[in-house]
Structure formats: structure tokens, C-alpha cells
Amino acid sequence: MEITRRQGLMGLAALAAAPALLPGEAAAQSRAETLRQVTGGAVNTLDPTMPGSTRESFGISMNVYDRLVGFGRKMVGGNWVFDHTEIRGELAERYEISADGLVITLHLRRDALWHDGTPVTAEDVKWSLDRHVSSKSLAVSQFQTGSLTSTEQFRIVDAHTVQVVLDKPDRLALSNLAVPYAIMINSRLAKQNATPDDPWAQKWMQANTAAGGAYKVESFRPGVQVVLARNEAWKGGPLPFFRRVISQSVPEAATRANLIEKGDADLAIDLQAGDIAALTQRAQVKVASIPQSNGFTHISFNTRQAPFDNPKVRQAIAAALPYEDMFKASLFSRGRVLFGADWKVPPNADFPQALPMRQDLARARALLTEAGLADGFATTFSFGTSTAATSEPLAALVQEALAKVGIRVEIQKLPDAQLNTLQAEKKLAFYTDSGTAWLPATYYFFYLYFTRDQRWNFANWENARITELSNAARFERDTAAYEAQCKEMISILADQLPLLLLWQPNMDAVMNKAIEGFTYQFYRQVDFRDLKRA
């Protein structure tokens, strides 16, 4: 949904008006207990499983809906980050996995209630899981990555116990129950608003909730503002500090920065790197800078299109690029680099990790000669308009560096919709973009981004050994064997270079100095449940 400048100004007016309280209103809704977030994106639906859902919609739903389980969190470098290795109960107070890894048994909280006050039952959970593998939604393809594909896999044991049954012990079956799509739904309420043409109440749930999470939706203006009120009956964890949350869409980054610095808003996570540097210097706000550990910015080649179908051409370009200069120009060095490593064998099985890429123009020219392209060639280099602030300086340096080895680059700045369409249709030759894997397991990164003829195979890459290894690692239960499979995949990637991993940008959470508890989450939005005002 496009937010116009006029809508943005209307939103600012709403933000300014929101503090006003009527005489006699409870102190619970005082300024101290109200959190104000400003965001450049917009919440366009309350059902995160709907195609086209924005990342902001995912964030709101994580606070409004419970999942059966959730990831833990840990302190890294003085900041809280999610911990995918720790899976804790949420709507399920506990779970067990059978010795053979084929049965996950989930025990529901017996005192859990939906927002309308009715009790949560195993029937509700079964209906929710059935919806996620049966409806026309984003959940279906995501659940497939954990071998969750059939309603027959979800079984009611008793009123408060559900089992998930697998054909193979998939490493990410349980983790998939923690993702934004895995919402647990008040089935009685949803079915009341279903129709024969819409048995899963998808249309109704875009603007309404059938939830039981830590917050209730008090008001929803698509593309403009969402107001949440704390659910005082929530049992999924400690009650959040904030009784009320206002998430306001403010399209202009500079305006968002100004609102935070003046104290008119509490939190923003999507400011420009240049604004953040200035805010940090003035020291009126607090900034938590956390590398996006499950994401990456990349330069991709279409590996089924000449000349990028030749690995030597890709290796030549990798050797021609000025990585440090690109990092500084694009991100003001705010992030974790994924270049410049010095290894012949990966030091560990983690991914993404820095690859052995560094600038060496002589090697680049030699590789082009070996590829039969000593005189170079012409190509386009594309990026989307929404990333222009970081991609334009990157593209200029790519163009300048490749000219030194005879490669003539025409820069294409494309509307996001056009870039996404061309990317999906595998018609981009050479471009930059980013990706984020919700489940940051090495096999999952490779399965998602480097196999199959699908949208997220950025480089349009087909490698039989990578496909074999990713499929094997998915079901491998022996830790040593799994790590060996992952290291081999990383080695193949470093040699063949279907895309160039550049860096993991920081998530820079800019906030009022009194805000505490911010956690970097895998879905790159704010978990209001963790926050408090000192």
C-alpha cells in the first residue's frame, strides 16, 4: 500500500493528538505506559499469512497472536538478540519430541484464554494448523520447509494436548511453529465469520483478529496506524510493561528521526544510516546497533545467462570489487562484513559467514582472459528504488571498479515492483538485493536461496551437489555429519560464487533513552512484549 505525503502528514497529526487523555481515564494509559513506534512501512493486514503482507504486519501479529512455541533470546555484544537454538513454550507450556524425532507432543496452557474470554482448546490448535497447510496463504510454503504438509499430521490427544507427526525427523519442524505465519486462532470466532467461498475466514481476518496474545487490537487504520492494548488475561509469559502501543506510519525517514530526537515518539527501527550517524553524534537518543545475523545483502548473477553462466566470469567480478569502499559508501560501515576471509576450508558450519573474497584486479583480468573475455563485455546492474540510499553508492563503485577490467556497466534503478517481477521471472542479469532467512540454520539458507526453480533462488543457480547436500542435511540427526554437509556446501558456494555475499546490515533501533529490552528478532520487527520504560 502506497502512503502519500498527505497521508503521512495526517499520520503525524494523529501522532500529535494521541497523547490527549480524558479526565478520569486510568493512569494505565498515561504517557509513561504508552509506547510510540514510528515506521516507514505500513501494516496492511492483521492476518500475516495473507500474500502481500508487509513486514510491519508480521511484527504486529507477533504481539497480538500467540504461537505454540517461540524462540528464546540471548545477550550478544551488549544487545539482546533472538536465540533460535532455544525454543520455549508459548501457548504450549511445554513440549516433548520422541526419541526417533517423529512425534512432537505439545501440552497447552490450561488457563489460556482467547481475547473474547473463551478457553483455548486443542480443537482450536488443530484447526489453526490445518489452516496453515490447506489455505491459499503464505503459511503453506513456509510449513513445507519443516515437512508440515497435511492435516493428518496434526492430532488431538485430549482437550489440552496436540501431536505433530512427521514422516522423517525434520530439523526445522518445531522451529516452523514459531514463525510469524504460525498464528494460533480462535476457531469458533473465525468459523463464525467464514463463508462457503472462504472457509478459513481469510477475508474477515485481514481487518479483524481471532487471537489470544499479549496485546489486543484497539484500533486499526490500514496503512496509517495500529493501536494495541495490553491483554490483562494473557498467560503466555510475564505481562508486558506497556499497557498501550501506538504504531504509526511516517513515510519520511528524516521526520521519523526528528520525532524520536524530540521525544514525540519512542522507537524507530528503519532510519537511514546517515541519519543514525548524526543522531548518535548528538547523543539525544539511544541506538542499539545489531547486525542482522539471519540476513545478507548480496550481488547476484543470473547463472543461466551468458556470460554469468561461466564461473570464471563470476570469480573475476568478485576479484574486481572494492569491498571496503562499498561497505563504507553504502552503510557507513554499519554492519558485519561477509567478505575478506582467509580460508581454504570453512572454519565452521555457520552461515552466512565471511567468504574469501577481496579485491585483486590482476587476478580479475587473468580470469576474464581464461574465460575468453579479455576485452571485457557490457552488462546492466540493477537495484530497486526503495534501496536507493544504500544501493546507488554501491552501484557507482561497482561500475567504476569493473570498468578497470573492461566490463562496461549500465546502472538500472528500477521501481520495486518491476525489480521483483524481473527477479521472479529470472530476467535480471546482474543486480543487488537482500535476503533474510527466518530460520537461520545453514541447511535452510542453502535450501531456500540456492536450490529449486523458485522466487528466492536469487542467482537462478542449479548445482546437483548442493541440492543433494541440502536435502540430506535437512533430515540429518548426527551433529558431526550435519556440520560436514554444511561445510561442503559453503566450500562449493565460495568456489562457484553464484552470488557475492557482501554484508549483514545493522538493525539500528533508535529509541528514547529510557526504553530498555529491545531485542533483534528474526522477522526484523519489534517485540513489544520485551520492552519497558526505565
pLDDT in tens, 357-407: 999 999 999 999 999 999 999 999 999 998 999 999 999 999 999 999 999
Start and end residues for every CATH 3.40.190.10 domain found in the chain: 1-65+213-285+512-534
Name the DSSP class of 113: B
Is residue 7 over pLDDT 70? no
Per DSSP, the chain holds a count of helices (H) and strands (E) of: 16, 21
- Homologous superfamily of 1-65+213-285+512-534: Periplasmic binding protein-like II (3.40.190.10)
d(CA 288, CA 278): 14
Q: Is the peptide bond before 51 cis (omega within 30 degrees of 0)?
A: no
User: What tens digit of pLDDT does each residue of 310-364 get?
Assistant: 999 999 999 999 999 999 999 999 999 999 999 999 999 999 999 999 999 999 9
User: What tens digit of pLDDT does each residue of 462-511 get?
Assistant: 999 999 999 999 999 999 999 999 999 999 999 999 999 999 999 999 99
- Homologous superfamily of 295-506: Dipeptide-binding Protein; Domain 3 (3.10.105.10)
Name the DSSP class of 129: H
Confidence category of residue 29, pLDDT binned at 50, 70, 90: low
Distance of CA 135 to the CA centre of its chain: 22
d(CA 390, CA 527): 26
Start and end residues for every CATH 3.90.76.10 domain found in the chain: 87-200
Is residue 4 over pLDDT 80? no
Provide DSSP, 18-76: TT---TT--GGGSGGGEEEEEESS----S-TTSTT--HHHHHHHHHHS--SEEEEEEEE
Question: Residues 247-257: what's their mean pLDDT?
Answer: 94
Angle at 189 between CA 188 and CA 190, to 5 degrees: 95
Is residue 16 over pLDDT 70? no
Comparing C-alpha atoms, which of 39, 89, 78 is closest to residue 59? 39
Start and end residues for every CATH 3.10.105.10 domain found in the chain: 295-506
Domain covering 87-200 in this structure, CATH number: 3.90.76.10
d(CA 92, CA 68): 5
d(CA 362, CA 342): 18
Question: Residues 425-454: what's their mean pLDDT?
Answer: 94
Confidence category of residue 15, pLDDT binned at 50, 70, 90: low
pLDDT of residue 506: 93
Name the DSSP class of 438: S
Q: Which residue did the predictor score with more confidence, 16 or 276?
A: 276
CB 450 within 8 A of CB 461: yes
pLDDT of residue 455: 86
pLDDT above 70: percentage of residues in the chain: 95
> In angstroms, what CA-CA distances link 197 with 131, 178, 203, 206, 446?
14, 29, 10, 16, 37
Query: Three cell numbers at 20?
Result: 490527549
Dihedral of CA 334/335/339/342: which sign? Answer: positive
Query: Three cell numbers at 201?
Result: 475466514
> In angstroms, what CA-CA distances link 184 with 64, 67, 355, 488, 515?
10, 6, 40, 38, 29
For 475, phi then psi, to 5°, come to -110, 10
pLDDT of residue 273: 82
User: What tens digit of pLDDT does each residue of 122-154 get?
Assistant: 999 999 999 999 999 999 999 999 999 999 999
